[in-house]
Structure 1
Amino acid sequence: MARHVLSVANLGPETLSRLVDDSVAIAGGRWNADRPLDGKVVGIYFQKTSTRTRTSFTVGALKLGASCVSYGPNDLQIATGETLEDTGRTLASYLDVLVVRTNGPLDEMKALAAQDTMSVVNAMSDNEHPTQAIADLSALKEAFGDLKGIHVLYVGEGNNSASALALAFAHMPAMRLTIVTPAGYGLPDDFIAQAQRIAAPNGTTIAQHHRVEELPRNVDAVYTTRWLTMGVKKADDDWLTRFRPYTITPAMMARVSKPAGTIFLHDLPAMRGYEVVDEVLDGPQSIAFRQAYHKMTSAMAVLAWCAGAPIRR
């Protein structure tokens, strides 16, 4: 049966931990650099723009020995009315893994995954970005050596990166995530409740509020994302005024940082001067571009797991 990565919620703690550990091992050169995907074919189907995720999966697949086939938004017969289920059944005759990005609902990817031979990887849907969360945990583990006890402050919009991060934290032991967003732009209350239910047995705490003046102190990491996810326009014409107090500045970093220092993360691309200023993104606390590197190492871990070809150390 094919292994899919559609949502962090479906991975479970053991698989998620393995993917993070494999990603960190690849980044640190602690694997034997063999080609476990030799003879495999990976399809890259992106309906929307991408710099990091598309490149990281393509290069990661090639490094693992796979061949790649790339599709643009209008290259498949989905554009002319073929059903997603029929497209998935057809592509499963040729491909071992299909990596998909869309602004649509996760149900679209589930339809492509309604066959049992080709793995489908969610490289971002409208409400979750699971491979980004794996890269995020990889960057954090590399930085701190251990994920237990880490407190991350997420500031900005409750978007698909934030939802994946919350689910990833929920599956890991003894972590803490505080999400602070403008009112009306947070993650849905029922989603937060779901993440909290998953997190509770693991001793992990997930909280969300909308009071930027009440940020927690002494956090290990501050994380933000682009306010305009995939360039989608906000319904509220005055949204920027509401978001401005949530810009990550040196003053905000100083306010929440530990005496020993706090790192900064951003999933990129950045809208400089909006969610973060240059002094933070380019400053010594920032690991945003190392985090971007982990998009490739985590992609390699995901592809190897999907293909049933484990990373050997």
Structure 2
Amino acid sequence: MKLPSSTATNLNKSGLRHFLKTQDFTRAELTEILDLMKMLKDARRVNAVPPLFAGKTVGMIFEQPSTRTRVSFEAAATILGGHAQFLSPNDIHLGSKESLEDTGRVLSRMVDVIMARVDVHETVAGLAKEASVPVINGLCDWLHPTQMMADIFTMQEHLPEGKQLDDLKVAFIGDATNVSNELAMICTKFGMEYAHVGPKKYHMTEEIVGMVEDNCKEYGGSFVMTDDINAVKGFDILVADSFYWFGQEDEKEERLATFMPEYIVDQRLMDIAGPQAMFMHCLPANDKRETTREVMDGDSSLIFDEAENRLTAQMALLVYFTHQHTKPASEDVAASHKAKIDDFLNAL
């Protein structure tokens, strides 16, 4: 016998979707999110952001630390009139005393969105499988979709004269990181020319390549993987990321010896790309490893606009994935409940 639920929340919402990877969305849907980002950023410029997340809470699970992810989600929820809860491994029993599945079910009864920045993709995917509220992938070992919305929006803000998104040539320099994987997918989905430039040992996996090839067929983009740094000639944007990350500390010396100095995005590499080239990096950056302070602080650097647009992206994602689930009570229903509660409290 299955007992009826006593929850006051609207579980199993119609049209429920999660944001685990950009590949799950069409180009038209991703464009909708970009359009919403622009409207919210324009509103923020004049302190006119409407309270579209009022009364709502995003529960933020962090297995890995982050400056931009935490601050941007907390600020986004506040600006939109809502609330964010920080949940570290010391705060919850995720996967230890409580199963992943039960964590997803419990949080769904208490918050309106779950954001998870996790060690492995299976964790955020497992949360999404059981959750009855939207789950947003704040980063995993495989992908980084919230970063990509900020990156594509930043590219759109700084389009070279006469070009559209599908005219751009974007090159990622270095390891096939979660940023590289997601960037390859979203750039080709928007019809761009994409290059992954780095040692062959650290190229994208066949699984990612398959998704990228599918995008090229459907949307007209193109991509190449090469170890030749001269392949960046004529490219509009060069993107860098760390040569090693959490869990790869034991590979640090081998990785640095393989990538440095050839694949450092320094002024030499920017000059190969050409005078039109712009630089992006998700941050934090090791300015004497994958890039240089000269490039980071140069006139062609977009990294701090890119960082600010993490906030722009998080505002849009919180609104985009919850707006259709907002069903405010009618004035009569609200007045009835208020009167009933007021009468009770006055009688105490």
**With structure 1 as the length reference, what TM-score do the two structures score?**
0.92
What is the aligned counterpart of 2:39 among 14, 22, 25? 25
Structure 1 residues 230, 135: closer, same or farther in 2, change over 3 A? Answer: farther
Contact 1:96-1:117 at 8 Å conserved across structures: no
- When residues 122 and 136 of structure 1 are mapped into structure 2, their CA distance, relative to the original with a 3 A threshold, is same
AA aligned opposite 1:17:
T
Asked if 1:101 is matched to 2:91, the reply is no
What is the aligned counterpart of 2:302 among 257, 282, 287? 287
The Cα RMSD (Å) is 1.9
2:94 aligned residue (75, 78, 90):
78
- CA deviation map 1:155-191 (0-9, x unaligned): 111100011111111321x311111012211211332
* Bigger Cα displacement from structure 2, 242-251 vs 106-115: 106-115
Q: Is the 8 A contact 1:22 1:301 kept in 2?
A: yes
Worse-matched range after superposition: 149-158 or 163-172: 163-172
- Deviation, 1:129, is 0.4
Q: Which has the higher contact order (CA 8 A, sep 6+)?
A: 1
Secondary structure, counterpart of 1:17 in structure 2: helix
1:1-313 paired onto structure 2 within 5 Å:
1=13, 2-29=16-43, 33-78=49-94, 80-104=96-120, 106-115=121-130, 117-144=132-159, 146-172=164-190, 174-212=191-229, 214-230=230-246, 232-235=248-251, 237-244=253-260, 245-257=262-274, 259=275, 261-308=276-323
Counterpart-to-counterpart distance in 2, 1:222 and 1:63:
32
Q: How many Å apart are 1:230 and its aligned residue?
A: 3.7
- 3-state secondary structure, aligned to 1:177: strand
Task: For residue 150 of structure 1, report the CA deviation from its aligned partner.
Answer: 0.6
Q: Where does structure 1 differ by over 4 angstroms across 4 or more consecutive aligned residues?
A: none
SS at match of 1:184: helix
Give CA-to-partner distance per residue, 1:264-296, whole Å, 9 cap, x none.
Answer: 101100001100011100111101011000001
List gaps (5 residues or longer) in structure 1: none
Distance in 2 between residues matched to 1:124 and 1:186, nearest whole Å: 20
Q: Distance in 2 between matches of 1:113 and 1:189?
A: 25
How far the C-alpha of 1:29 sits from its partner, in A, is 3.6
Structure 2 Cα separation of the partners of residues 67 and 42 of structure 1: 6
* Matched-pair contact (CA < 8 Å) for 1:36–1:309: no
Larger radius of gyration: 2
Superposed displacement of residue 116, structure 1: 5.3
Measure the CA separation in 1 of the matches of 2:35 and 2:278: 20
Task: Give the superposition deviation at 1:308.
Answer: 2.2
**SS of aligned partner of 1:6:** coil
1:128 shift after superposition: 0.3
* Amino acid in structure 1 at the alignment position of 2:233: R
Unaligned runs of 5+ in 2: 1-12, 326-348
Q: Secondary structure at the match of 1:88?
A: helix
